[in-house]
Structure 1
Amino acid sequence: MSDIKYSTRLNSFGLGKGRKYPTGEESTLDLIALAGQVTGLTSLELNYPEHFGTDSVADISAALDNVGLDVQGVQLRWPAPMFADGAFSNPDPEIRRAAVTMVKEAIGICRELGADHVLLWPAHDGYEYPLQMDYMKSWDWMVECLREVADVDPGIRVSIEYKPAEPRGRTLLNTTGAVIKLIRDCDRPNLGVTLDFGHLLMARENPAQSAAMCLREQKLFGLQLNDSHGVADDGLLVGSIHFSETLELAYYLVREGYAGTYYFDTDPVRENPVRECELNIERMGRIIEVATDMVRDDPALPTGDALHSASVLWTKMLGA
């Protein structure tokens, strides 16, 4: 398991002491230095344009080299107020053009950092009221924009992270199935999905089932791990609430040969962010080990026998 890449949210290191959100004044280089203190961390993913406002790509690369971390991807953030009414689904063609331009810039930075993955979170592509969004036109606009950014560089993977709500009341991409449908409509081999555990819980989806759907399509490009109470995007420690669902997710990831990064999207609001990240790595490493044992020792799983499956989980979770 030494070849597993463990990455995390850079902004987590700007939290703690009761802060839910970074102030926006944190130095990217200082956050990288703090992340470098995490035992077991191999990688980071940076937000564009957020983390590139004052520091050059060369300076950021040097800071990463200094702490022995690489970059596995660049995460695109379309900021409000410009994109408050949507990015690729915005009814204003000039706003859509600006959204595409930002992704092209992120792809260029991704190349400079030696990474091959740009992640899109369409946070504002949604609505609050009936008849506010033209669902059909908005879908077509998203397909058009995604095809254009995917064609910039076929060697760069572009994935979509969906969330059913927040900051919008509802989003156009509100289920795993909706994202897979969109990717099929785009028909580009370098377009895929990034699944966020907490977002799946918000949508009342089972993370393992959603991952299985994406793995079946060979479209699971990224994974964001955390936990929550299922109502909001709590960003809690991995396996802290939904342990059995996390173990089942790991079972499918191991069984189907997922080779991507294990990225932690957590919010240590009151916890020490370095130790919190270390716990995520320790927990996920152990969960992957247990899942690997399950795949090896009981190849007939799942059998359709609920009591047998429950016994296997109970034994693996409690060791008895």
Structure 2
Amino acid sequence: MSNKQVYGAGIWHFATYVDRYATDGYGEPRSVIDAIDLAGQVRDLSVVDLNYPFFGGEFTNEQVKEALDRNNLSVIGITPEMYTREFAKGAFTNPDPGVRRRANELINEAADVVRFFGADYVKLWPGQDGWDYPFQVDHGALWKNSLDGVGQLASENPDLKFVIEYKPREPRVHMSFDSVSRTLLGIEKIGLPNVGILLDFGHALFGGESPADSAQLAIDYGRLFGMDVNDNLRQWDDDMVAGTVHPIELFEFFYTLRKNNWEGVWQLDQFPFREDSVQAANHAIDFLKAADRGLEKLDFAAIQAAQDNHDSLTALALAQQALFSSYGESA
């Protein structure tokens, strides 16, 4: 078995949450330092994605690095909060040019944080960019602003990677970057080498995609720069623990990455509202490690032969045997 696979998590996994019902939250508020200390308790967790600005107080890069160092964690990416109340009408697509400039400034600040931590990328999740109602927006202008916003940042920071995390909806009823195909079209239009996709397994499910197919498409265009995993019931972005609902589709997703020699962090993007956050991360990583062991067992040639004949039952039998026999084995 390969021992090279690295596991990560968004630091928000270890925060506490509110929703429109439990407005008092599902736990006591935590700072980013508190969250890092919890992340450090997770078995086999090596890297984290950090929100910027840092939540829960005023913290310097040095203070955050100190917390990371004492927990043996490093940073894979920085996610600027371009989806807060300030950007309620959009970040890149806001009708106010001043707010669009402010989004650019915020993300450039995040780019400097990426450099400080030696991280891999700036993650763009433009959750407020899009529309809610028919006739609300000029679709041509909206799309142009989306591409111009990303393109300007990539041009200003040619030394860094920018990854777009697409999603069908929420908080906007319809997000501009809503699917793998539309996001790839936009990236190709931008035409810069440092813009790619961060493929969220749950967002692909939620959007009616096959995550494995979405991964293959992004890889074929040379634009799969990152990924993260979770699970859901397909009707919403539930951000449940990875492998709990769609284990075979998640295994196919990892198979597609391995088949294409895609190397990168297998990262958690989970929101354990009611679960213990450390336990939820351990549970997910145990599954991811089983999937890694399963890939070592899987007969790739036999899978390919079955796929060449569109022989679903043979392919599934091979995949199920490899995955399920690997669960519970020692690492």
Fold shared per TM-score above 0.5? yes
Structure 2: distance between partners of 1:181 and 1:52? 37
Matched-pair contact (CA < 8 Å) for 1:254–1:288: no
Render the CA deviation track for 1:100-141: whole Å, top value 9, x for unaligned: 111111000110011121100010011111111211111111
Deviates more, 1:141-150 or 1:209-218: 141-150
Matched-pair contact (CA < 8 Å) for 1:251–1:294: no
The alignment's TM-score, normalised by the length of structure 1, stands at 0.93
Matched-pair contact (CA < 8 Å) for 2:303–2:318: no
Residues 270-281 of structure 1: matches in 2 within 5 Å? 270-281=274-285
Partner of 1:95 in structure 2? Answer: 99
Structure 2 residue 155 is matched with structure 1 residue 154: no
Residues 107-256 of structure 1: matches in 2 within 5 Å? 107-256=111-260
Structure 1: distance between partners of 2:107 and 2:228? 20
Structure 1: distance between partners of 2:296 and 2:262? 12
Partner of 1:282 in structure 2? Answer: 286
The alignment's TM-score, normalised by the length of structure 2, stands at 0.90
Structure 2 residue 9 is matched with structure 1 residue 8: yes
* Displacement of 1:25: 4.0
- Give the aligned residue type for 1:255: K
Partner of 1:265 in structure 2? Answer: 269
Structure 1: distance between partners of 2:140 and 2:296? 43
* Displacement of 1:16: 8.5
Structure 2: distance between partners of 1:277 and 1:156? 29
Runs of 4 or more consecutive aligned structure 1 residues displaced over 3 Å after TM superposition: 15-25, 50-53, 317-320
* Displacement of 1:318: 4.2
Matched-pair contact (CA < 8 Å) for 1:135–1:172: no
Structure 2 residue 328 is matched with structure 1 residue 313: no
Structure 1: distance between partners of 2:96 and 2:77? 29
Structure 2: distance between partners of 1:70 and 1:95? 32
Structure 1: distance between partners of 2:179 and 2:114? 27
Structure 1: distance between partners of 2:128 and 2:323? 39
Deviates more, 1:300-309 or 1:275-284: 300-309
Matched-pair contact (CA < 8 Å) for 2:127–2:172: yes
Render the CA deviation track for 1:73-96: whole Å, top value 9, x for unaligned: 101221432211111112221111
Structure 1: distance between partners of 2:246 and 2:18? 25
- Give the aligned residue type for 2:12: N
Secondary structure in 2 aligned to 1:298? helix
Gapped runs of 5+ residues in structure 1?
A: none
Partner of 1:29 in structure 2? Answer: 33
Structure 1: distance between partners of 2:192 and 2:292? 31
Structure 2 residue 109 is matched with structure 1 residue 105: yes
* Aligned positions, number: 320
Percent of paired sites with the same residue: 31
User: CA, structure 1 residues 17+277, in 2 after alignment: closer, same or farther (shift >3 Å)?
Assistant: farther
Structure 1: distance between partners of 2:325 and 2:286? 18
* Displacement of 1:259: 1.3
Secondary structure in 2 aligned to 1:8? strand
Tell which has more relative contact order, 1 or 2 (C-alpha 8 A, sep 6+). 1
Secondary structure in 2 aligned to 1:2? coil
Matched-pair contact (CA < 8 Å) for 2:297–2:322: no
